[in-house]
Structure formats: structure tokens, C-alpha cells
Structure 1
Amino acid sequence: MKPFSLFFSFLVVAIVLATTSYSIDAFTRNDFPEDFLSGAATSAYQWEGAVDEDGRTPSVWDTFTHSHSRDNGDIACDGYHKYKEDVKLMADMGLEAFRFSISWSRLIPNGRGPINQKGLLFYKNFIKELRNHGIEPHVTLYHYDLPRSLEDEYGGWINRKIIEDFTAFADVCFREFGEDVKLWTTINEATIFAICAYGEGISPPGHCSPNKYINCSTGNSSTEPYIAGHNMLLAHASASKLYKLKYKSKERGSVGFSIFAFGLSPDTNSKDDEIATQRAKAFLFGWMLKPLVFGDYPDEMKRTLGLRLPVFSEEESEQVKGSSDFIGIIHYITFYVTNQPAPSIFPSMNDGFFKDMGAYLIPIGNFSFSEWEAIPWGLEGVLEYLKQSYNNPPIYILENGKPMIHDSMLQDTPRVVYIQAYIGVVLNAVKNGSDTRGYFVWSMIDVYELMAGYRTSFGMYYVNFSDPGRNRSPKLSASWYTAFLNGTIDVASQDSMIQLQRNLSGFSLL
């Protein structure tokens, strides 16, 4: 992008920001702690492509997309072949860290047993390429792509056999990559994964109770999300224990767990809506975080679910408690919460998790899975809530970004406004004592989006998916993030560009 074009684009951003109702202090990357990680993210199935090359076998996402006649990640951005080009783009941007996942079925094609040497070599080369360019790798072990063989054999996450197989997979990763990887997330956004895959039927393996919205061939929305979630916690704890016993003294890394974190605020000042919000937080945050921090599920869940909620043995409780060195947060959107029935973004909300939660989520402003507004105070509220309610755990914001219709327009001004606003409130949270240690934009480049395919994208680099070469082109967001990371936006111009206000009046963040 030419300097004049870049200046003009930033001026457009400044005008947009100046006309909003938001305003925060000017900031630069230098205002964050020196060891704070600013990065970007992708995942294996969404970025790599090469689904049947060099020994990789199908994952549940492969079979789910093909059986449902959806867009798929067969080629995606072709990161498997273009990783050196992408790492060069990251280095040119000044990325400090890059978050990605390892395809279980590329590394261990049968789910257990022999390692695929070509898959192993790919990840070793990729990680070395990141390191050689000064980029910290942050690895997610599981990003929804269970080897199909394990799903067919015993049902995947609803069977306790998954704990042993996941731990063995983690062992291979720790052993083979741990010299260069110091940050590990075991399971990606476990909360929404359990809900969508085993309650709503909208992601693989596509389980849900019979309903008029989704045609699920199997499942029980009232029990399976909690069984799957329970096994995820136990699998995480098992892998974490293995790392501490076998690798931590030498590799000196950290193992964390990730949840999807909606921003939540009462719809009104009524007592009923305040109670509903607390109940929503118990289900959406406490479901996974209470066991990780305190060793057991929230009382609200135990009272509501009764025998449908699995029970930790005393030994399991001790193993899960304290097993996460950090909490990974995936955050995009914020909702008002009400005690009154309201339309849901999830079609089968009348059964399963959301019915159990007993609270209704109302989108703020214009909302769809392909478009949503910037509500930065929602993320700041999440960070404050975790600080006060969960002993201020170390946090990495592993995903945050804005979808836009995927086209060749490179002037993605709304995305710049969004990212800038959220980085600003992360800085506010850090200054207010939150132990937040990193922020990752989703996504580094346009990828195959699990819910929207190729219709919308989050990337800071445009990918032409109709071109066999999958050419990359920088958007305005890439230029802005580069300038932010490199400190080439001075405080004066930043002050005119950033007129974003938390605008918290009337909103309860806790």
C-alpha cells in the first residue's frame, strides 16, 4: 500500500472514530508491558488445506462439511504449501506471536499409534520458521478436528477413552515440539464446542436431540454437552499433569485451557435480569472455570441439572483444580441478558444447555454470524469479571476480530475500528490489574470460516480463493496493525484516530 494511500486510509478511520460515541486515551504498543504478546491466529483445518496429502487422514470436520454439502477446508488458504510466505508476511508486520493448531490426523493419522513423519516434519519446519523470524509460537492442540477414526471407533468426546488418546497425542506434541513451543492451549473454546457439537448439532459430530431446526441423526442435547465438557476437562487435566511431570522442568512452558467468553450485561436494572445474568455467567463461564480454579462445578448448575451433570471423583477434582497455567479467552460479541423469553441466535434453544441456563441472550445492535458491531466494553467486563471472580488468572485473548463480507475490497475500515477499540480496552484492563498477557487478532489472513465458509472473512490479508495460487494482499487492517506493532503511529495522530469511549454508563460489567 502506497504511503499516501495509507495516510488517506488512516484519515478515513480517524473520521469514522471521531463520529462515534467512544473515546479512550491515546495508546501505542509501548504502553503495554514489554512481555505482553501481540499476535494473530489461525487453525489447522481453516488454514492448511492439503487434506489428503502426505499421510493426513480425515477429521470430523472433513466428513461433516462434505456430508452437509458445505464449503470445506480441502484447500483453504493452502497454508501447508505457503507457510514460508505467510511467516514472511507475519515478520514484515512485526507480529510477536502466532497462534495456530496442530492437525491431530496429520500428525497421528489413526488417532493413536504411529506418527506420520511427513506431518511431523511439516510442523517442525513451520515452528522453526516462526522462531527464525522471532515469532513466538502459541500452539492449540485441539481445534475441533478429531480424527474421524476415533469418532467412528468409540464416539469421540462423549467417551472417556478420549482422555487416554488425547493425552498420548499431547505427549507426542510436547516431546517433538516442546523445545520451541512454550505456550500450549489444550482445547479450543471448550464451552461453545461442547454446546454446538453436542447440543445444537451445528458443528461436528453434529449431535442434538430431535428438533424442528436441525436434522441430527443422533444425540441428546440434555446430557451430551455436559458429558463432552466433563471429558474435555479431564483430558486437559491429564495432559497438563503429564507436561508438569515429564517436560516442564526442561521445556519451561505453560499449558492452558480455552473458553468462549460472551460479554454479558443485564438488559434492564430489574432484579430478575440481574439474577439471570449471574446464572448465565455461572453456565457460560463457571461451567469450565469453576472446576479449573476451585475443583467443582457451579452450584447453580448442580441444582439445575441434577444427575445429568457428571460428578468429579475426589481425585479428579484435585487433578483438574489448578491444572491450567492460564485461561485462553475467545471473545467477539456481547449480549444483554434477560429473564424474559427472547429470540435466540441458537435455533434449538428450547432444549438443552440454553434452556437449562434459564436466561435469554439478546444481541446488541445489528447482529448475524457474518456481521456484528464493536462493543468493546463487553470484553473489558469479561476481564474484570475473571479478575474478581476467578483469582485474576493469567489470560491470553486468543481470538478477537470482526467478520466482513469476503470480497476484494482492501479498505476494511470497520475492522480497523473494531480491532483498535478492543486493543484499547485490553490496555485499560491491564492498567486496572488484569493479568492479561497477550492479544491475538483473528485472523492473520482470510481462512475457511467454520460457520460461514468463504462468504465472510476476518483476515488482515485478503486471499483470492478462486485463484489456484491463493494470492495474499494486505488490507488496511494489516497496515494499521503493522504500524501499531512497529510503533510508527505517533501519539498525536493516534489521539486523533482513537476516539473510542467505553461508554459504560448504564451497563453492569460484573
Structure 2
Amino acid sequence: MSDDLQTPVILTGALQEALKFVNTSLKMLKVEGAANKDGRTPSIWDTFAYAGYAHGENGDVACDGYHKYKEDVQLMLETGLDAYRFSISWSRLLPNGRGPVNPKGLQYYNNLINELISNGNQPHATLHNFDLPQVLEDEYGGWISRDIIKDFTYYAEVCFREFGDRVLYWTTVNEPNVFALGGYDQGNSPPRRCSPPFCATNDTMGNSTYEPYLAVHHILLSHSSAARLYWRKYRDKQHGFVGISIYTFGIFPQTNTEKDRVASQRARDFFVGWIMEPLQYGDYPISMKTNAGERIPAFTNHESKQVKGSFDFIGVIHYTNLNVSDNSDALKNQLRDFTADMAANIYYFIYLITPWGLRQELNKFKLLYGNPPIFIHENGQRTASNSSLQDVTRVKYLHGYIGSVLDALRDGSNIKGYFAWSFLDLFELLDGYKSSFGLYYVDRDDPELKRYPKLSAKWYNRFLKGRRTSIVGTIELEKDPSLVFVSQLFE
């Protein structure tokens, strides 16, 4: 792991100079649209959407970032963003999953990267975000086959070679823990592999008892292969960094009983330790190996050494907290999936603003995993999609969670940056266009897909520019009625 990972841009003036880390906004693949244009082939996410599993919607147009990227970069500049995280579509760059590079896909990403940099915006690129080329899924089953390691490493090298002179921050795979659970256990996200009685639907194939473990195993081997290739061939010349992102929760026991406290730790092993312990220590958590037994793959000595330490930074994805109670009786079931192996009942708090969970989670990374460099890769509030620009609750959410990051920073966590999810209202994985996370509303009834700033965008702009954003109570900034909001954590 690199010891010299530096924050690329330091904000001045914000939060009385206490919060000195990158504060930026996030983009993902389905901003692009142009799904069937200029040589791009379908990904497993496209197949999932075309089958009707995203409320019958798809990302064929999305926010049309493919054509509107210059306009969007200017909007980022006006907002005050200094970094932008985006996903590269594997099937746009390599339509066959391997082999020749698509020149038009290459041109698009070069254009986007150059536009970002020319406007003072640091690009952070993600290589895989639920969007494996469908051709590889059809050929050998994608992530459940060891063949994926060679193909992913090839794809990663194409990206390093073509874009690494300008892109310094590389995330290999976005939230592999959630990707594996949704895609290979419950079957409610791409590529919709699962088996009864664990399936969300009945028309799927796969095996929920072992495929989630197998998929993550191959993701970790692919990630480490790509990371070590970068360090070996490109780091000395390009001076960049490679990491992976993990979906996290603030995890708390449902009651103060010993059983629930132990179950909470076990749940954390299964959600976070599943990824972090191999990266930090070279093997899966003991609780996972004990409960899953032979269904969880074993690393060879060579693989363990390859995976251990194969990151320069960790991306933390965090939205909310969950409570955990013991369900050890699930271990008596002869047929078990990941959830049964975890032996815990989970209670989610989807809409609550509970920022203390993020602070706790960041402190856990400090205590358990050697205080690695961390970027908050996603953090934001889900609301129903509508044309209202008065997203007061999103402002309150950002207030609280940015405050928790500041608290963790003061606790000594090695935080390098923060990305708010998301810059625009976009095509979400499960919700399609039915939910909203964006700072900017996209009018889908307008042929030009015009963008409109929400209250949160205006607040975020002031925050990034280090201007006063709050007093306790309800305030009005610059006599702009759209900037009225309540409560704040900082002065």
C-alpha cells in the first residue's frame, strides 16, 4: 500500500479551515446514455433494464452525458467542484470485452477527461460498476469464472495505458459486496443469478449458496491483479493510485444483549470484512470461513500474498445505518445462503439522517485496518423523483454527514476526499428514474434534458467556496427565496 497518497486539492476557508479534504460530486455510468451508439455493446445492466427490472426504464438516454459532457463540466465548474468520479463503460471501450479498442469510445473518454482537467477538475475513474460486458457473461458466466481475471486485467491495462497520463485515481470495482449479494444471492440486480428459495424472482439461474462468495473471490483476484500490474508498469511514470470501494453501514446491535452485540460484529465481518480482511490480512474473516465452510473459496498462498495490501486507498460508500439482532438458529438450516450464514436479522433505516454511523464506520477502518487512506465515494439522500427544487432534507443530510466526516477526520481517520452522490438526477440501478439523489434536477420532459439546480446545489456551492452556510434556525441567504433552509451543524 502506498504511503504517500496525497489529497489532490485542498479547500481553503471551508469550515474554518478544519475540513481540509477534497469535497466533490459523483457521476456514474448511467449518466452517459448513448447505450447503443458508436460501437458500444450491452452490459449486464442493460440486459437487466431491458428485461423490465428497473421499473420498465433503461439507460439508453439517461442524462445524455455522452453528448452533454461539456455543458455538465461547466456546471461542475460553476458549482465549485474540484474532482469528479465517473465510471468507464467496459463495453463502450472494448465492445467484445477484450481485443480491439473501440476508437469512438476511446475518443469520448479522452474528451471527457480533457474537458475535466482543462476546467481544473481532477478525474477519478471507476472501471466496473455493475456493468460487465454481456458478451463475457454469455461466454463463461462473468464473475463466477476465473477467466474474468485475465479479461479484467487486460481491460484495466487499456485504461491505464490510454488515460493514466491524466487520471491519477483508479477504483477497480464499485461495491463488490453489494454487487455479489444482489446479483448472485437475491437475484434483484445484474446479472440476476440466484436459486430458490433465496430468489427475489422465479425466472433466474444460478446458485445462491456459493456464487456470491465465488464472485467476490474472483473480484478480489482481478482487483489485485490490476493493482499490481499498475504498480509494476505504470506507477513510476504516471504517479497514480489504485483502490476499491466498499458499501458500508453504521452497524448497531438491536438490543444491548451479548448475542446481539456478537451478531453485529458478525454482520460487519460479512458486509465489510468480506472485502477488507483479504485486502489487509490476506484471508476472509474467521466467522465467514466457519459458517460458510467449503462454500467460500480458499486463497492459495500465492493468491493471499497477491491480494494482501493490494490497494492505495479504500472507497467508502455509505448512506444509512442498520440494527442487528442474533439469528443463530439460521445456522441449523441445511440449505443456506449468505444471509443465513451471517446468522443475523437486519433492520434498515433507509430514510433517516443518522450521520453518527458514518463516523463510527470510519473509526472502525482506522482501528481494524491500519487507518488506510479513504475517499468517501458515495454519500447522499434518496428521495422520490419530482420537479421540486426545494430539497431541504437533502441539505440537512449533507450538513450532518459532512459533519460526521469532519468529526472522523479530527478523530485521526486518514480521509482524503468526499464525493456527494450524486451530481445529477440519473438512471439508478434498481429505481430507474423513480428516485432522486441529485444536486441538479434533470427535466426529462424537455428534449434538451435541461438541468436545474436544487437548493442542495446552491448550498453545496457556498460550502465548497468556503462561504458562510448557516446559522441555527431558519435563514435566508442573499435574499434568494430558494435558499431558505433550516438548521446547520457548522458556523
Q: Same fold (TM over 0.5)?
A: yes
Name structure 2 gaps, 5 residues minimum. 1-12, 330-334, 476-485
Q: In structure 1, how many angstroms separate the alpha carbons of the residues matched to 2:342 and 2:147?
A: 28
Query: Residue 337 of structure 2 corresponds to which residue in structure 1?
Result: 352
Q: Which residue identity lines up with residue 453 of structure 2 in the other structure?
A: P
Q: Which residue identity lines up with residue 227 of structure 1 in the other structure?
A: L
Q: In structure 2, how many angstroms separate the alpha carbons of the residues matched to 1:381 and 1:169?
A: 36
Indicate if the aligned counterparts of 1:257 and 1:326 stay in contact, CA closer than 8 A: yes
Q: Which residue identity lines up with residue 234 of structure 1 in the other structure?
A: L
Indicate if the aligned counterparts of 2:395 and 2:456 stay in contact, CA closer than 8 A: yes
Q: Secondary structure at the match of 1:354?
A: helix
322, 344, 348: which one pairs with 2:309?
A: 322
Query: Residue 462 of structure 2 corresponds to which residue in structure 1?
Result: 483
428, 438, 443: which one pairs with 2:422?
A: 443
Q: Which residue identity lines up with residue 384 of structure 1 in the other structure?
A: N
427, 435, 443: which one pairs with 1:456?
A: 435
141, 145, 149: which one pairs with 2:135?
A: 149
Indicate if the aligned counterparts of 2:376 and 2:418 stay in contact, CA closer than 8 A: yes
Query: Residue 174 of structure 2 corresponds to which residue in structure 1?
Result: 188
Same amino acid, percent of matched pairs: 51
Residue 363 of structure 1, CA deviation? 2.2
Q: Which residue identity lines up with residue 31 of structure 1 in the other structure?
A: E
Residue 33 of structure 1, CA deviation? 5.3
Q: In structure 2, how many angstroms separate the alpha carbons of the residues matched to 1:67 and 1:32?
A: 48
Q: In structure 2, how many angstroms separate the alpha carbons of the residues matched to 1:199 and 1:141?
A: 23
Name structure 1 gaps, 5 residues minimum. 1-26, 343-349, 502-510
Query: Residue 274 of structure 1 corresponds to which residue in structure 2?
Result: 261
Q: TM-score, normalised by structure 1?
A: 0.87
Q: In structure 2, how many angstroms separate the alpha carbons of the residues matched to 1:392 and 1:216?
A: 43
1:162 maps to 2:148: yes
Q: Secondary structure at the match of 2:299?
A: coil
Query: Residue 361 of structure 2 corresponds to which residue in structure 1?
Result: 382
335, 340, 347: which one pairs with 1:362?
A: 347
Which of 138-147 and 486-495 deviates more? 486-495
The correspondence of residues 299-318 of structure 1 with structure 2, limited to 5 A, is: 299-318=286-305
Q: In structure 2, how many angstroms separate the alpha carbons of the residues matched to 1:29 and 1:115?
A: 45
Indicate if the aligned counterparts of 1:199 and 1:209 stay in contact, CA closer than 8 A: yes
Q: Secondary structure at the match of 1:262?
A: strand
Which of 355-364 and 198-207 deviates more? 355-364
The correspondence of residues 410-429 of structure 1 with structure 2, limited to 5 A, is: 410-429=389-408
Residue 499 of structure 1, CA deviation? 4.5
Q: In structure 2, how many angstroms separate the alpha carbons of the residues matched to 1:483 and 1:473?
A: 17
1:456-503 Cα distance to aligned partner (Å, 9 max, x none): 1100000012222111000000000000000122676799865459xx
Count of matched residue positions in the alignment of Structure 1 and Structure 2: 460
Residue 436 of structure 1, CA deviation? 1.0
1:6-58 Cα distance to aligned partner (Å, 9 max, x none): xxxxxxxxxxxxxxxxxxxxx93453454x211111211x2000011111111
Residue 420 of structure 1, CA deviation? 1.1
68, 73, 76: which one pairs with 1:87?
A: 73
22, 25, 34: which one pairs with 1:37?
A: 22
230, 249, 261: which one pairs with 1:262?
A: 249
Tell which has more relative contact order, 1 or 2 (C-alpha 8 A, sep 6+).
1
227 and 93 in structure 1: CA distance in 2 versus 1, 3 angstrom threshold: same
110, 113, 116: which one pairs with 2:102?
A: 116
125 and 30 in structure 1: CA distance in 2 versus 1, 3 angstrom threshold: farther
Indicate if the aligned counterparts of 1:62 and 1:72 stay in contact, CA closer than 8 A: yes
Q: Secondary structure at the match of 2:319?
A: coil
Q: In structure 1, how many angstroms separate the alpha carbons of the residues matched to 2:303 and 2:194?
A: 28
Residue 341 of structure 1, CA deviation? 8.9
Q: Which residue identity lines up with residue 416 of structure 1 in the other structure?
A: V
Residue 122 of structure 1, CA deviation? 0.5
Indicate if the aligned counterparts of 2:177 and 2:216 stay in contact, CA closer than 8 A: yes
Residue 263 of structure 1, CA deviation? 1.1
Indicate if the aligned counterparts of 1:140 and 1:185 stay in contact, CA closer than 8 A: yes
1:210 maps to 2:196: yes
Q: Which residue identity lines up with residue 440 of structure 1 in the other structure?
A: F
Q: Which residue identity lines up with residue 127 of structure 1 in the other structure?
A: I
Query: Residue 129 of structure 1 corresponds to which residue in structure 2?
Result: 115
Q: In structure 2, how many angstroms separate the alpha carbons of the residues matched to 1:450 and 1:424?
A: 28
1:91-141 Cα distance to aligned partner (Å, 9 max, x none): 111101100000000001100000001100100010010001111111101
1:163-187 Cα distance to aligned partner (Å, 9 max, x none): 0000000000001101111110000
309, 314, 319: which one pairs with 1:332?
A: 319
Indicate if the aligned counterparts of 2:391 and 2:454 stay in contact, CA closer than 8 A: yes
Q: In structure 1, how many angstroms separate the alpha carbons of the residues matched to 2:98 and 2:289?
A: 35
60, 64, 76: which one pairs with 2:48?
A: 64
Query: Residue 54 of structure 1 corresponds to which residue in structure 2?
Result: 38
Q: In structure 1, how many angstroms separate the alpha carbons of the residues matched to 2:369 and 2:440?
A: 36
Q: Which residue identity lines up with residue 129 of structure 1 in the other structure?
A: E
Q: Secondary structure at the match of 1:440?
A: strand
Indicate if the aligned counterparts of 1:28 and 1:491 stay in contact, CA closer than 8 A: no
Q: CA RMSD in A?
A: 1.9
Indicate if the aligned counterparts of 1:262 and 1:334 stay in contact, CA closer than 8 A: yes
Indicate if the aligned counterparts of 2:188 and 2:200 stay in contact, CA closer than 8 A: no
Q: Which residue identity lines up with residue 426 of structure 1 in the other structure?
A: V
Q: In structure 1, how many angstroms separate the alpha carbons of the residues matched to 2:385 and 2:294?
A: 45
1:39-84 Cα distance to aligned partner (Å, 9 max, x none): 111211x200001111111111111111236211010000000000
Q: Which residue identity lines up with residue 114 of structure 1 in the other structure?
A: P
Query: Residue 3 of structure 2 corresponds to which residue in structure 1?
Result: none
Indicate if the aligned counterparts of 1:341 and 1:360 stay in contact, CA closer than 8 A: no
Q: TM-score, normalised by structure 2?
A: 0.91
217 and 492 in structure 1: CA distance in 2 versus 1, 3 angstrom threshold: closer
